[in-house]
Amino acid sequence: AIQMTQSPSSLSASVGDRVTITCRASQGIGNDLGWYQQRPTKAPELLIYAASSLQSGVPSRFSGSGSGTDFTLTISSLQPEDFATYYCLQNYNYPFTFGPGTKVDIK
């Protein structure tokens, strides 16, 4: 199975900060990677698909990049509603695997 790692596992940031989260796959997955935001007690919401495509309705401050094994989610200017946990997901092959998550909280 493809293992997904994320770094950092948590971070503290201020409103307006630029935030970068990294996801690494144990083998190449092309661009079959998505990024999700999850707020407490809510279902995950898709932010980025195919590594770099912005999901409809998602603010443009979110962006994704990467291919192969290394991927990045960037929030260009953190907003109050962005404090949440972020997960990557590889759907390159079965079993699909999520990263362990990155919790973003207020500094």
Partner 1 sequence: EVQLLESGGGLVQPGGSLRVSCAASGFTFSNYAMNWVRQAPGRGLDWVSTISASGGNTYYADSVKGRFTISRDNSKNTLYLQMSSLRAEDTAVYYCAIRIAAATFDYWGQGTLVTVSS
Element housing 25 (H / E): strand 19-25
75 or 86, CB closer to partner 1? 86
CB of 71 to partner 1, least distance (A): 13
Give contact residues for partner 1 (rule: CB under 8 A).
1, 32-34, 36, 38, 43-46, 49-50, 53, 55-56, 87, 89, 91, 94-101
Q: Is 50 helix (H, G, I), strand (E, B) or coil?
A: coil
C-beta neighbour count of 56 within 10 angstroms: 6
Q: Which one, 16 or 94, has the nearer CB to partner 1?
A: 94
